[in-house]
Amino acid sequence: MRATETATLRGAGAGRPRHFLRSGSCVDNPYMTAVGQVPGIFTPDECLWLSGAPLEQTAAGVYDAHGPEARVDRQLRRTLERQLPRNREFAWVYARLDKVAREANDRAYHFRLDNRITAHVLEYEPDGFFDWHMDLGTGPTASRKLSLVTFLTPPEAYLGGELLFMDGGSPLRPAQGTTAVFPAYLLHKVNPVTQGTRCTLVAWLHGPCFT
């Protein structure tokens, strides 16, 4: 069974997705604010390996109107990050994320994507959080089209840390190995972690900037 055949989409209308353009005129796409969940993208052993990948770890920054470079602001975000290099060791990770994202895009969003994809492992220790934000922004984030969040930590191993979206719906705290897929322009946040450590693998597929 393909991954997207078991996926669920929240915030979307029933039935088959409608394309942006049909017969030369614009039509509504009910999936423009949908959040998909695809379970079992990575096995528990793979999640554990990714959580402990021996990569350089730094304090994660935020991109905003202050300039094109990320800056650390602990009032907005308290997260540690490790960037996954595009090399042979991590090629299988990027290939799997790319496949999941493109299947979701073909099924629902129909964004124009190119071959760029970036990924980081994020670690939220107690009191770690990320306030309301969108992944689409300025500088290197201006071309982000689709966001992916893979939950590497079992939900019973930490408290707090729910993923919330501004448009409502239940907070996301899914099973280990589940990937959430959503448009990069959706406002979302990560609640403070109150106990344990929450690790996620986040990735973005890029394309021509939204106009």
**How does DSSP classify residue 108?**
I
21 in a structural domain:
no
Return the residue matching tokens 């099973």. Answer: 175
Where residue 137 sits, what CATH number does that domain have? Answer: 2.60.120.620
- Whether 52 maps to a domain, the answer reads yes
Q: How many structural domains compose the chain?
A: 1
pLDDT for 29:
85
The answer to whether position 30 is within a domain reads no
Does residue 104 sit within a domain? yes
Q: What is the pTM of this model?
A: 0.84
21 vs 44, more confident: 44
Whether 29 is in a domain gets the answer: no
d(CA 151, CA 202): 9
Q: Which domain holds residue 183?
A: 3-8+36-61+78-206
161: in domain: yes
Instruction: Give the pLDDT score at 114.
Output: 94
Whether 211 is in a domain gets the answer no
What is the C-alpha radius of gyration for the chain, rounded to an integer number of angstroms? 17
* pLDDT for residue 75: 75
**Segment 6-31, tens digit of pLDDT:** 455 665 443 333 333 333 445 578 88
Residue 146 DSSP symbol = E
User: Does a structural domain hold residue 113?
Assistant: yes
The per-residue pLDDT of the chain, averaged, comes to 86
Which tens digit of pLDDT belongs to each residue from 154-180?
Answer: 999 999 999 999 987 789 999 999 999
